[in-house]
Amino acid sequence: MATSALKTDVTLAKEIQTRCGQNAYLCYSCKKCTSGCPLADHMDLTPAEMMRALQFGQIDRVLNSKTLWLCAYCETCFTRCPQKIDIPAIMDTLKQIAQERGVKPKLPSVAQFNELALRSVNMFGRVYELGLMGELNLRTGQILKDADLGLKLFKTGKLKLLPRWVRYSKPKKKARAANNTKSFTRLQTDRVKDKRVAYYPGCSQHSTGTEYDMSVRAVAQKLGLELVEPENWVCCGAGAAHAKSQELAVALPFKTLAIIEAEGDTRMTTPCAACFSRFRTAIHNAEANPALKKAVDNSIGYEYEGTVKVDNVVTTFLEDVGLEAIGAGVTKPLKDLKVVCYYGCLLTRPPAVTADEHPEYPMSMDLIVRKLGATTLDWSYKTECCGASLMLTQTNIALDLSQRILEKALEVGAEAIVVACSFCQGNLDNRQEQIERRAGKKIGLPIIYFTQLMGLAMGLTPKEVGLEKLFVSPEAMLRGKNLID
């Protein structure tokens, strides 16, 4: 009997490998990516099915899939893949190819969000959150969506009426000691001796996450840590730039790194988990791709030398300040307070980028909170996904993810969830009333930034750490434990 060889179209898989360096044919379909994906049940192709379709050259099926647009970039798949395939990078590349070929996105609202976010960055230098939310509602025909939430954000000073314009200009390098390191990602420096760290707040901390910014600055001052905000820093691209192009996703963080390096600073910290991820990913990708690094240097007009080590504020307080100094600053121990620490997706994942030793069950924030006198409870949802920016475009899905986190915290007896991410805090706190309405029950669980707890334990007032800006107030509970006046 005559047989014929099975022919598959390998052109798309090859194009992906050329663009982002990821080889889809390394996948042997163990399905770890799918088993850990928080959105797999909502996808038309699970991550494993997407990889298989790529391998068999099912181009139309892949490019027309809604999975491309539903990916929340929680990085679980990349973290758990035994072949170390960066599936989120593949998703980004497929988005870019689909748009270049004129394939209409199966989730138009996600594509519109990315477009509007980047337009905001191009116009203002940073994301103008009120304008972004308003125009997204107009584009999607939901003019009054979240109007009640927006009003509450505005009343609490967490939504700015007008944008702030900033412009990047090529910095001039200042003379400093030579740096012989060749690794941007793993640049190691001693504990900060002069207590000066460049501070990148990120767009949200000047708006919807303002209480996080307030508490970070107040606690840093208490601990003698000088946070220096770079002049005219620009948005890192957040969740939008990497869906547009790899070069743009590297260039935006590198503009701010150039400013910091030119000032002679060697360390940068950020309170925003998404910003931390984008900076570390940009550095990681530039390190792995010299041609990309050269293109970015040319586009920003500055040859970045890799002298700046990027951390998140949890690491900065834990490693640069130290638990001993934090403990010494505690004047009002948070005794009898039981909490769970929620890290979200991007503080620890993927470890190839974050260099975190315990990406699935981190303890860094727990160690700090325990030093304040509180009890941190063990639970299995430390690094689960809350939906991130999908809350604006695929709201019901994100509400389901966030509800699950809240319920699991209550199950272990938590009196509050402690966070270090403004996306996570917003989804769990600002949206908790919506979650309660959908669930038909009261949850009433405060979502507190870890720096707010640090400030309270160090004698700062609730107002000084922005406690009144939280939608689910913890003040009655804290006052009942004599932890605040």
pLDDT at 29: 96
Quick one: pLDDT at residue 177? 42
Distance, CA of 250 to CA of 16 (rounded, Å): 18
What percentage of the chain carries pLDDT values higher than 70? Answer: 94
DSSP result, 136-172: HHHHTT-TTTTHHHHHHHHHTT-S-SS-------PPP
Average pLDDT over residues 74-80: 97
pLDDT above 90 for 50? yes
Task: Summarize pLDDT for 132-162 with one digit per residue, the tens.
Answer: 999 999 999 999 999 999 999 999 999 999 9
| Residue 279 in this model has a pLDDT that exceeds 90 | yes
Q: Please name the residues in contact with 346: beta carbons below 8 A apart, sequence gap of 6 or more.
A: 73, 74, 75, 273, 274, 276, 277, 354, 421
Three-class secondary structure of residue 216 per DSSP: helix
pLDDT at 190 over 60: no
C-alpha span between 160 and 243 (Å, rounded): 26
**Residue 185 pLDDT:** 43
CA distance 181 to 123: 36
What single DSSP character describes residue 466? T
Predicted local confidence at residue 8, as pLDDT: 80
Domain boundaries along the sequence of the chain: 11-100, 108-146, 196-314, 322-480
Query: What mean pLDDT is reported for the chain?
Result: 94
Q: How far is CA 125 from CA 141, 159, 168, 256, in A?
A: 27, 17, 8, 11
Structure tokens at 332: 């009002």
One-letter amino acid at 349 equals: R
Helices 47-55 and 11-20 pack at an angle, to 10 degrees, of 110
Mean of pLDDT values over 45-57: 97
Token pair in block for residue 25:
């044919």
Q: What angle do CA 259, 261, 262 make, to 5 degrees?
A: 65
CA distance 484 to 179: 47
**φ, ψ of residue 184 in degrees (nearest 5):** -70, -45
- Residue appearing with tokens 């303890």: 363
- Residue 375: in which H helix or E strand, if any? strand 375-376
Q: What is the pLDDT of residue 322?
A: 97
* 343-382 residue pLDDT tens: 999 999 999 999 999 999 999 999 999 999 999 999 999 9
Indicate the pLDDT class of residue 172, thresholds 50, 70 and 90.
Answer: confident
Q: What is the pLDDT of residues 315-343, one digit of tens each?
A: 999 999 999 999 999 999 999 999 999 99
Check if the beta carbon of residue 411 is closer than 8 Å to that of residue 383: no
Pairwise CA distance, residues 236 & 241, whole Å:
8
What is the rounded radius of gyration, in angstroms, for the C-alpha atoms of the chain?
Answer: 22
* Rounded distance between C-alpha atoms, residue 290 and residue 362, angstroms: 32
> Which residues neighbour 275 within 8 Å (Cβ) at sequence distance 6 or greater?
200, 202, 236, 238
> Do residues 216 and 451 touch, judged by C-beta distance below 8 A?
yes
Tokens of 482: 């004599």
Write down the pTM of the prediction.
0.94
Residue 4: predicted pLDDT: 57
pLDDT of 6: 59
- Omega before residue 290 within 30° of 0, cis: no
Record the tokens describing residue 410, joined without a space: 């209550």
Instruction: Give the per-residue pLDDT at 3.
Output: 59
* DSSP string covering 384-452: ----TTHHHHSHHHHHHHHHHHHHHHHHTT-SEEEES-HHHHIIIIITHHHHHHHHTS-----EEEHHH
* Mean local confidence (pLDDT), 90-118: 97
**Residue whose pair of structure tokens reads 């005219």 in the numeric block:** 232
pLDDT at 181: 43
Interatomic CA distance for residues 166 and 184, integer angstroms: 27
Structure tokens belonging to residue 239 = 């969740």
Report CA torsion sign: 151, 157, 159, 165.
positive
**DSSP secondary structure, 281-314, as one string:** HHHHHHHH-HHHHHHHHHHHT-------EEEEHH
Specify the pLDDT at position 199: 98
Residue type at 188 in one-letter notation? Q
Token representation of residue 329 = 């600053």
The mean per-residue pLDDT over the stretch 435-462 comes to 98
Q: Do domains 196-314 and 322-480 have the same CATH topology?
A: no
CA dihedral sign of residues 421, 388, 129, 276: positive
Q: What is the pLDDT of residue 175?
A: 52
Q: Work out the average pLDDT over 403-421.
A: 98
| 382 in Cβ contact with 343 (< 8 Å) | yes
Q: What pLDDT is recorded for position 193?
A: 52
Q: How far apart, in whole angstroms, are the C-alpha atoms of residue 227 and residue 209?
A: 17
Instruction: Centre a 10 Å sphere on the Cβ of residue 192 and count the other Cβ atoms it contains.
Output: 17
Give mean pLDDT, residues 54-75.
Answer: 96
For domain 322-480, give its CATH number from 3.40.50.11810, 3.90.320.10, 2.60.40.10, 3.30.450.20. Answer: 3.40.50.11810
Distance CA 230, CA 207 (A): 18
Fold of 196-314: Glutathione S-transferase Yfyf (Class Pi); Chain A, domain 2 (1.20.1050)
pLDDT of 191 reads 44
Where b means 16+ CB within 10 Å and e means fewer, 163-180 reads beeeebeebeeeeeeeee
Mean pLDDT confidence for 281-296:
97
Q: How many other C-beta atoms can be found within 10 angstroms of the C-beta atom of residue 98?
A: 20
